[in-house]
Chains A and B, each alone.
Chain A
Amino acid sequence: MSHYEASIREPLVLGDKSYHDITEDIAKPIEGAANKNWYIAFYISLAAMLWGFGCIFYTVGTGIGVWGLNKNIGWAWDITNFVWWVGIGHAGTLISAVLLLFRQKWRMAINRSAEAMTIFAVFQAGLFPIIHMGRPWNAYWVLPLPNQFGSLWVNFNSPLLWDVFAISTYLSVSLVFWWTGLLPDFAMIRDRAVKPFQKKIYALLSFGWSGRAKDWQRFEEVSLVLAGLATPLVLSVHTIVSMDFATSINPGWHSTIFPPYFVAGAIFSGFAMVQTLLGIMRKVTNLEDYITRMHVEYMNMVIILTGGIVAVAYGTEFFIAWYTGSPYENYTYLSVGAATGPYAWAFWSLITFNILIPQLLWIKKFRRSFIITFIISIAINIGMWFERFDIIAIVLSKGHLPSTWWRFEPTFVDVGIFIGTIGFFFVLFLLYARTFPVIAQAEVKTILKSSGEFYKKRRAQGIPTKPAIIATDSSAINGRSDNNLNG
């Protein structure tokens, strides 16, 4: 029977849940009122976001000169933040697409939120190159549009333009993937809404989803094909971001291992951010039965793997920089020069947060602890920010001539915009957590019988998952249902 799973596997849904209980649990955060903690978090995020918008207006009104950039370091915080946010945006599609192809059922509890995180993170990422243009109202010049500037087209040889195509494709495909999965869940909220306005809103959001057998057949096929398309897409995005650096001729950037190493780093940081967000969300929304210790452990295993790939890449870069014997290679971001120079603090922050601290996850007890996972995930978020800062600022701070030896000092505007994007991200995520079904409940219902604790226990006792057939009670026949609203 399809509802079979080896008894050795831990249950994915805890408690004695029925299909209706899942509906109730997922609808509760949307239908209930927000608590005080939500409002506190929301207002702090909103304040940070407004501060960031103020800094953006100041930058655009005055010019990029208000940033800490100088004649040598033309990229610094902005591009660091851009790459950091794009990297975070990698876990969502990885969880929903790659894990779908691998038939990993545990993804169902986390894919919705991870994809929301992806979309919100890519929004933040997209802001930075646009602000960095200085004249953001000309941002549409990156599109290949016929224009009046003498048939001037965009340059398809440039990795920066590849980025435009990769990130906009990634954002839009992630968005439709996410929304298509949301349709049945919005329909569930719609059909149980009591307030007319709420019903209208969710009717609009659900696109009139009715759940016909044919719709579900297409839905599953579309999900599978989208997963197949999104898998190479997600790998291509950070590959192309890494080419912004790798196709240049700067020592430290001109590195052939950048594409795979950036992709691994992106997944590493993306999963860390998922751990950070879900660690809080499972508590706040009372979804501990769905996002369990085992989900946390599985994600930690992905973090160990991708973190290991990143550590090996660091080692390779460090070794090659030393092995070339080239003096120019001795000040790349992973080199003796960087480890002992004026940016030693940034170098050692990277090593500590990104390589040393995540190794604690090899210990099973830590891997299964919510608190320790949360702390380590924060460390990885910081470490991955430093990785990009080191790659950009340290490498650019020492050119081939002593006249190009400059340091980078961020101004309050640099910091303010970064804080603003963090605020903006959390504003979006908090609003999402209150208004969207945060778990793909229709999908979770499909695995309840195979992976739910209740049914697993019953199966161990030899009770079949299929209930006994009871002939319909005569009072239930030809009853005019009051619920025939759409009939």
Chain B
Amino acid sequence: MEASKVIHAFYTDDEVLLDAVKEVKAAHHHIEEVFCPFPVHGLDKAMGLAPTRIAITAFFYGITGLAFAIWMTNYIMIEDWPMDIGGKPSFSWIENMPSFVPIIFELTVFFAAHLMVITFYMRSRIWPFKDAENPDPRTTDDHFLMEIPVNNNEEALVSLLAKTGAVEINIVDKH
């Protein structure tokens, strides 16, 4: 891939950053990314990010866990090897269901929680041995970094950003 230029604008305050993001958006520039040391509320809306659908996936994973637990208890306790335990024979799943409720509940939670977290890790590309991609180590401490691609509008961007209270503005070749 050929090298392209980006501007890295650094901020040290979340409220200043949020206003800067709004100003850059109002001037119709594309914001490639914002790296933050902590979540800034309202930033996703200001950047125009779509809401995350990860909670919806958790719901479907939970349904999957529920279905799996129902299938498993039915197969094991009713179909494959029905046992008469304490005078309570295993004739039908629905009659034995009350004592399966704890298992069904736990498996629902297990599936929803773990599969949602795995989805999050995959979508955000975080896993063991993954290299960090924040361009500057200060962005996990107290600096916010706004990354804007440059398309022959370097000066206009720099003068705009300088007015928004950035503490440092760098022009970087991105590979």
Contact = CB atoms under 8 A, between A and B. Distances in A.
Interface in A152-181: 152-157, 159, 161-162, 165-166, 169, 172-173, 176-177, 180
Secondary structure of the A contact surface, majority rule: helix
A21 B100 CA distance: 52
A44 B112 CA distance: 41
Given A213-B34, A467-B16, A469-B165, A169 B109 contact: yes
A145 B62 CA distance: 22
Interface in B2-45: 8, 12-16, 19, 33-44
Contact of B109 (A180, A232, A472): A232
Given A169-B110, A209-B126, A221 B55 contact: yes
Given A20-B142, A191-B140, A211-B37, A472 B165 contact: yes
B1 to A, nearest CB: 14
A429 to B, nearest CB: 24
| Range class of the B interface residue count | 35 or more
Interface string A102-120: 0000000000000000000
Contacts of A219: 39, 120, 124
A476 B120 CA distance: 36
A207 B127 contact: yes
A188 B141 contact: yes
Given A203-B131, A207-B127, A191 B141 contact: yes
Contacts of B156: none
A62 to B, nearest CB: 32
Interface of B: 8, 12-16, 19, 33-44, 47, 49, 51-52, 54-55, 58, 62, 72-73, 76-77, 80-81, 83, 85, 88, 96, 99-100, 102-103, 105-107, 109-110, 112-114, 116-117, 120-121, 123-142, 158, 161-172, 174-175
The 6 A-B pairs with the shortest beta carbon distances in the complex, nearest first, are A208-B130, A191-B137, A19-B142, A466-B15, A469-B165, A472-B162
Interface of A: 1-3, 18-20, 23, 144, 151-157, 159, 161-162, 165-166, 169, 172-173, 176-177, 180, 183-184, 187-188, 190-192, 203-204, 206-222, 224-226, 229-230, 232-233, 236, 240, 243, 442-443, 445-446, 449, 465-467, 469-472, 476-481, 483-487
